[in-house]
Structure 1
Amino acid sequence: MMIRTALAALLSATLLAPALAGSEPGTERLLAHRAAYRLTLDSVRDNASVVQAEGVMLFEVVDACDAWASRQRFTLVLSDRDGNRIETSSDYSTLEAKDGSSLRFSLTQTTEGAVTSRVAGEATLTPQGGRAVYSEPANTQEDLPAGTVLPTIHTLRALAAARAGQRLISAPLFDGTSADGAQDTTTVITGGWAAPQPNPAFPLLATLNSARMRVAFFGRGGTGQNDGAGTPDYEVSMRYFENGVADELKMDFGEFVVDGRLGELQPIPSPCG
């Protein structure tokens, strides 16, 4: 990462851990940070019942030396045509080995304060595939296909592809948000590897390259796993900077699309030597 200001040079020296032997290439570029996003309704499709959406998403990733510890808290309030308001929330945390070999995960989802879903467990990966063993739902296991990647590794490979001028990557992704195991994903990189741009709101990002990409998620065996065709179960678009920070998000839930904008960004010093 090219650093041109004294502040950015200080951050690069204290916040980014050196890559460990066996770590995914690019790990040393990732920034440990806290980020807050404001969520608003972007668009609705024909016959959708949702007329308003607003909320917040808080994201934190901490350098745990040989792993990345992350937590994402998400609250969204939806209003329908009849004036009903429903609040949904999720609390999702992971501990992902920097070499991509394991993931501990936990997800709790609530609606109007009542728990509607819990998923938790641990996944281990090998070049031949892997296995996810769930503590919730209890006594559940899922085999993971060869080539499965974990969330941070997926981000690193998408950024590497953008840097290399690639436009499309596909891989099974396991993130622990479902008891169904891995999902097929297709990532489309749009606009190429963009040069740094002025960023008065977040000077830390002003010296960094970035890329816009769209990630589509399909159930295993879905038609989109190789060519991006078919209808995804879920889709998210974002602008990623080369340090792994996203400042713009669009989350497509099918009937409606939610826009996320970065409102706060705070680097987290690394405890690792």
Structure 2
Amino acid sequence: MAFGSAAALAGLLSTTALSIAQPAGAAALVPHRAVYDLELANSEERSGISGVYGRMVYEMNGSACDGFTVNFRFVTRIDTDEFSRVTDQQTTTYEDLRAGTFEFVNRSFVDDTLDSETRGSARRTDDAIDVEMEAPQQISLALDRALFPTDHMIELIAKAKAGERFYQSHIYDGSDDGDKIMLTTTVIGEPREPSAQDAEAKQAGPFANDTAWPVTIAYFNEAESGDEVPEYQISFKLYENGLTRDLEMDYGDFALRGTLAGLEVFDAKECAEQP
């Protein structure tokens, strides 16, 4: 059992970076490592799930000049009345914001056995995305124009700052078989200050008292965009500097809660000045 798109989650967690300068109109992101503890938030009886426990680890390195490398791991133990199973979803991506290119490897393990692998690269053109898949099969694809994960999250931060509260966008993250575009619908609430009872806010360190936007992103299969029910949706709090916390991932029959347990910010590499 895989919980939605690990690649989409990795893209979401790009916002746990801290926005700094914006060269050439694109936000630069501080390299960092964020850790989230996972637990079952709720489940329908038909899901058969009695418990889920796990951890997400997201690590990003690079710069807006050299591109960003992301390593993401999403490990869960799923308990039902009949079995317990460990799933391990691993994603590695490289996104060059200036060149408009994206490379990805997604692997999913079940009880330490490789269950699936998706590997390929994509390049954004004026009106499309050209994809070269290496696994699960070698194939070339031409898809509609969409944003790659980091650009998608930069767009979200910009719209939140501009006061937009609802918008739609398209994202390509190489998930599943790497052959589809996801339609996203995003709702951004009014920024709020954390309450005195908000224990997780303390994990944000120096930003613990900063205001944050409540955000919900619903993901739809672009090929089935007439569907009224999303494949899954993710809710979280978004700070103006890009930090996210209080994750909830809703898959319909059940939902997971992700609590920010640790945040380490690495030294940022400054871009060399252009001639």
TM-score range, shorter chain: 0.7 to 0.9
Counterpart for residue 104 of structure 1: 103
- For 1:196 and 1:85, the matched residues in 2 are separated by 37
SS of the aligned residue for 1:47 comes to: helix
**1:57-96 paired onto structure 2 within 5 Å:** 57-64=56-63, 65-82=65-82, 84-96=83-95
Task: Tell me the residue number matched to 1:212.
Answer: 214
Which consecutive unaligned segments of at least 5 residues does structure 1 have?
1-14
C-alpha separation in 1, matches of 2:100 and 2:175: 18
Shift of 1:250: 0.7
Kindly provide the amino acid, as one letter, of the partner of residue 121 in structure 2: E
Aligned match of 1:10: none
- What is the alpha-carbon distance in structure 2 between the residues aligned to residue 261 and residue 271 of structure 1? 28
1:11 match:
none
1:121-149 C-alpha deviation (Å, 9 max, x unpaired): 11100231111111112312332213x00
Q: CA deviation at 1:98?
A: 2.2
Q: Which residue of 1 aligns with 2:5?
A: none
After superposition, what is the alpha-carbon deviation per residue over 1:15-65, rounded to whole angstroms, capped at 9, x for unaligned?
A: 8774443x52xx13x332101000000000242200100000000111244
Q: Is 2:181 the partner of 1:173?
A: no
Contact 1:68/1:97, CA 8 A, preserved across alignment: yes
Q: 1:117 to 1:185 in 2, by over 3 A?
A: same
CA change 1:67–1:197 in 2 (3 A) is farther
Structure 2 runs not aligned, ≥5 long: 1-17
Match of 1:259 in 2: 257
Percent sequence identity over aligned pairs: 25
Aligned residue-pair number: 248
Q: Which residue of 2 aligns with 1:248?
A: 246
Task: Specify which of 207, 229, 232 is matched with residue 231 of structure 1.
Answer: 229
Tell me the residue number matched to 2:142: 143
Asked if structure 2 preserves the Cα contact closer than 8 Å seen for 1:89 and 1:111, the reply is yes
| TM-score normalised per structure 2 | 0.82
For residue 233 of structure 2, give the secondary structure of its aligned residue in structure 1. strand
Structure number having the greater helix percentage: 2
2:161 counterpart (160, 163, 170): 163
Change in Cα spacing, 1:208 to 1:151, as seen in structure 2 (3 Å) is farther
Distance 1:43 1:248 in 2: 15
Q: How far is 1:195 from its partner?
A: 5.1
- C-alpha distance after superposition, 1:166-217 (max 9, x if no partner): 121212200112222211111111x223357784333232364422211111
**Structure-2 residue corresponding to 1:42:** 41
